[in-house]
Amino acid sequence: MKKTQSIPITSLQRLPVYLNYLKAGGGDGYVSSGTIARALGMGEVLVRKDLAHTSATGKTRVGYRRGELIEAIENCLGCRTRRTAVIFGAGGLGRALLSYGGFANYGIEIVAAFDSDPAKAGGSVAGKPVYLPAEAERVIGESGARLAVICVPASAAQAAADMLVRCGIAAILNFAAVILKVPADVSVRNIDVAANLAIASSGIKEE
């Protein structure tokens, strides 16, 4: 298995797209990069280059064994290593993510959430407990969680990130519209939902 770190981020971002396509297809026959490219409306050379970053080896003219390719992509994405994650902020988005089943596809289990609102802490959402931030160090330590999702307003996001890093979190998915300052060994990905909708709308062709 090649190291994930050697894959360009743009290729890494496309691996889940291939994975979803391959899993939806079913069966365990062969699938070629050309078939994948046509189904997803992508260039075949790009697909072949992306898949070359995984450990999958295609056969000339027939392509990849579907099952092996799925496994190779899952290895790259770390799906076959169980990992635990916490959610910081149990407002609308945080609660939606606590109830979301899609993380399991990537071997990720959400184990707890934190919220500074005492009315939210102490309860649970979808069976996941919600704690006050003061309990973060204990809960994160005991769970061994290295991943966190930040779902607090922009004004509270940096303080949340600082606390999470102190508790041993090594990778953050950040929904707040701010650039987080974190140590170099902490990985951050940002999802700005409103910005994404604005970018989608900037692609509107007519008018």
Helices (H) and strands (E) in the chain, counts: 8, 9
Among residues 9 and 60, whose Cβ is nearest to a copy of itself? 9
Rounded Cα gap, residues 193 and 207, in angstroms: 24
Q: CB of 78: closest distance to a copy of itself in angstroms?
A: 5
Q: CB of 68: closest distance to a copy of itself in angstroms?
A: 20
Among residues 79 and 136, whose Cβ is nearest to a copy of itself? 79
Q: CB of 161: closest distance to a copy of itself in angstroms?
A: 13
Which tokens in the block code for residue 4?
């994930």
Q: How many CA atoms lie within 13 A of 1 on its CB side?
A: 14
From residue 80, give the alpha-carbon distance in Å to each of 71, 104, 107. Answer: 8, 10, 6
Q: Which residues bind a copy of itself (CB under 8 A)?
A: 4-5, 9, 12-13, 16-17, 20-21, 24, 39-41, 76-79, 83, 85, 91-93, 95-97, 99-100, 102-103, 105-108, 146-147, 149, 154, 170-173, 177-179, 185, 187-207
Q: CB of 13: closest distance to a copy of itself in angstroms?
A: 6
8 Å CB contact between 114 and 135? yes
